[in-house]
Structure 1
């Protein structure tokens, strides 16, 4: 990288919904390790479904015809084709920034046409020559139902978890919702192909919506679910051989799916994600029956999560439940699960451009061991990458406290600086 990584060890403390997001460890660690986050953040997490729904409603924007109306007859229908765009004024964004909402064509895991939504954040000030340097952002788990799209949230879900820092630093953000979030249809949760396509084609659609405003060159960046998506983009771009793609940042990525969905006991894990994984399996494999993997307790709140509830409600619905209470024994042996694990393998295919892989040493949602193991595998397969572990940081705090390192690394890519890998340290 050419610079030392700052050894962040504490999370920012915020209030309300943002504090609850920052206390992601509460989703798992509060169950197994006790209250390890500041009280102000810990108390922000919902304890009941009603509290979860209330928190979500406070940030929710209505699903308007923008998301649901049929495409105009003259709209392009190819992947990346723009269906419609609108300037947005109802987001809680820093003064000076400009926001747009776009709707576009993408592909699902089997390359079927799907309609996907996204938002675009532009920095303050005049557009520079060549357009704003562009970051295609892939968000972490927000839920699986249609209302769970970040573009349908006033704070854009990751607003002050680092996302606003990108435009503040002069970087435009193109942020897909992933299809099925915002738009009608099923969200293929935790599928690297589906999420990768949504990220890639959001860039083409944003260029169509805002000609001359965005740079041709771009970088992919993502956290958690999005950390797998951004790494997948690097694989796809290697095959597409896109000369304008400059590299990938993967933060706390679910790049070792088995370690995410069936972690070792000492890794803690976050069982409330499991019903969402079951939903993603159903979306990817329509003949799959979620009751083959979910226990009665596991299925109890599944219909709510599958239709209208998002992350907070999912957390509250399964608060205090272990994976053994939610998932049936040997559920990872189910053929659909095995197919998903095979399709989501990371670290074997070459990636285009430099790759930055970040993880937190205290992450109990996406265990750092699986991330490091995947990075090591990638290095052995000839994939050059820069890896860094932030000691002690949990899942969302890793995103928050690594943002400036991400931005500096991304700016180096746009500046054409040499990439320094450190595979020899893994």
Structure 2
């Protein structure tokens, strides 16, 4: 299997990059040059559980509708592809939601027991309904990710996440970086795929990068309580996962955000405000020409249309506003709880989106909690980090049932 890490698509300030196993993203471009300023001290993290009604439990993963794949999607010959709308759950209030996505199976004969499944969680595209990859002509570049998984002999299901998607009707907004909602959306996508009648196995893995990396990490943590009936989750692959976003609030106040972090910051503020009205974008983005919610366009992510002038100060207008944002981001911080689901975490030492010390402190806390984590540190690589052969080998070994490695 050939690596496709050379295939890079630039869109404004954003990039889409694809790995040997297709971990494609749309996210802020970052350039080499480490930023290891320490994150904020630990804060109390909310672990309040949402309460689901019996009806909500029954509906999880239920397919609401399917559509044929658009003609614009270029896929390996014989691939069966369907766009989906399925039932999921808000991690904010426990309400039943409709989420869009897509499912793909290879065009060859499935193995005994069905196609092992990859639930793919995409990177940052935006926070408005027009930012769903499955509504786009090439899924914001994620089709290359899907192709790689298919070529390796896996079925794939993608989720657009709650609030992203034009095929779901009027829905609750997208709570950007809120981990429980993202986890529920990933798990219910796997449920939907397994019920689609496409020969998909009940054995599955989840993979994602950046926002998606946090989504699959949360999937591992939430699986014990929410994953019943979704088969066997063999492991998750989190590439450059944005697990602890508290540093955004701290560095905005210090005026030490990197350029990549500055471009992402408006989405962080607006996205958090969509789940918590106490966070008011005008309190944090007053230095920008517009405080409007960033939107996506035809095959363009919200990040590609954002313009944050260099040397812009993005500090909150009051210390109280800064603390409110910091507290909400603290409630989103992972890890929250130990998990028995194995985790492969891949990160670069020159990541200008996620500071190296924040990433390594996060992984240390996961190990101290007892997680089975194999951390792969790639020297001199940035946010668009290449996992190399580690990811393909780790996924193959989980499907084969081999012992789980850990370097905690």
Which TM-score band (shorter chain)? 0.7 to 0.9
Inter-partner Cα distance in structure 2 for 1:260 and 1:411: 36
Residue of structure 2 equivalent to 1:235 = 221
Report the alpha carbon displacement of residue 315 of structure 1 after superposing the two structures with TM: 4.2
Inter-partner Cα distance in structure 1 for 2:111 and 2:125: 33
Inter-partner Cα distance in structure 2 for 1:326 and 1:29: 23
- Contact 2:350 / 2:380 at 8 angstroms: preserved in 1? yes
> What TM-score results when the alignment is normalised by the length of structure 1?
0.76
Pairing 1:414–2:403 present: no
Report the alpha carbon displacement of residue 282 of structure 1 after superposing the two structures with TM: 2.1
Structure 2: gaps spanning 5 or more residues: 18-25, 35-56
Residue of structure 1 equivalent to 2:44 = none
- Contact 1:271 / 1:326 at 8 angstroms: preserved in 2? no
Pairing 1:211–2:197 present: yes
Inter-partner Cα distance in structure 2 for 1:363 and 1:314: 18
- Contact 2:118 / 2:207 at 8 angstroms: preserved in 1? yes
Report the alpha carbon displacement of residue 266 of structure 1 after superposing the two structures with TM: 8.4
CA spacing shift, 1:371–1:129, aligned 2, 3 Å: same
- Contact 2:12 / 2:305 at 8 angstroms: preserved in 1? no
Residue of structure 1 equivalent to 2:84 = 102
Residue of structure 2 equivalent to 1:273 = 264
SS in 2 for 1:247: strand
Q: CA RMSD for the aligned pairs? A: 3.2
Report the alpha carbon displacement of residue 159 of structure 1 after superposing the two structures with TM: 2.8
- Please, which of 141, 153, 164 is the counterpart of residue 124 of structure 2? 141
Residue of structure 2 equivalent to 1:51 = none
SS in 1 for 2:217: helix
- Contact 1:148 / 1:309 at 8 angstroms: preserved in 2? no
Pairwise mapping of residues 302-341 of structure 1 onto structure 2 (< 5 A)?
302-303=291-292, 305-306=294-295, 312-322=301-311, 324-325=313-314, 328=317, 330=319, 333-335=322-324, 337-341=325-329
Report the alpha carbon displacement of residue 206 of structure 1 after superposing the two structures with TM: 1.8
Deviation digits for residues 162-204 of structure 1 (CA, Å, limit 9, x no counterpart) = 4421111011111100011114431111111111111111111
Report the alpha carbon displacement of residue 274 of structure 1 after superposing the two structures with TM: 1.6
Residue of structure 2 equivalent to 1:111 = 94
Deviation digits for residues 67-100 of structure 1 (CA, Å, limit 9, x no counterpart) = xxxxxxxxx9722111011231424323323321
CA spacing shift, 1:307–1:241, aligned 2, 3 Å: closer
- Contact 2:31 / 2:352 at 8 angstroms: preserved in 1? yes
CA spacing shift, 1:25–1:221, aligned 2, 3 Å: closer
CA spacing shift, 1:280–1:26, aligned 2, 3 Å: closer
Residue of structure 2 equivalent to 1:367 = 355
- Please, which of 388, 392, 399 is the counterpart of residue 376 of structure 2? 388
Q: Which range moves more in the overlay, 313-322 or 149-158?
A: 313-322
> What TM-score results when the alignment is normalised by the length of structure 2?
0.79
Residue of structure 1 equivalent to 2:15 = 21
- Contact 1:130 / 1:212 at 8 angstroms: preserved in 2? no
Report the alpha carbon displacement of residue 301 of structure 1 after superposing the two structures with TM: 3.6
CA spacing shift, 1:418–1:261, aligned 2, 3 Å: farther
SS in 2 for 1:164: helix
- Contact 1:227 / 1:253 at 8 angstroms: preserved in 2? yes
Report the alpha carbon displacement of residue 244 of structure 1 after superposing the two structures with TM: 0.9
Residue of structure 2 equivalent to 1:130 = 113
Pairing 1:350–2:335 present: no
Deviation digits for residues 348-371 of structure 1 (CA, Å, limit 9, x no counterpart) = 411132111111122112233322
CA spacing shift, 1:130–1:13, aligned 2, 3 Å: closer
Residue of structure 1 equivalent to 2:367 = 379
Deviation digits for residues 318-367 of structure 1 (CA, Å, limit 9, x no counterpart) = 243446247546477332x2442232121241113211111112211223
Inter-partner Cα distance in structure 1 for 2:150 and 2:389: 12
- Please, which of 46, 58, 61 is the counterpart of residue 80 of structure 1? 61
- Please, which of 121, 127, 130 is the counterpart of residue 104 of structure 2? 121
CA spacing shift, 1:315–1:157, aligned 2, 3 Å: closer
- Please, which of 124, 129, 133 is the counterpart of residue 150 of structure 1? 133
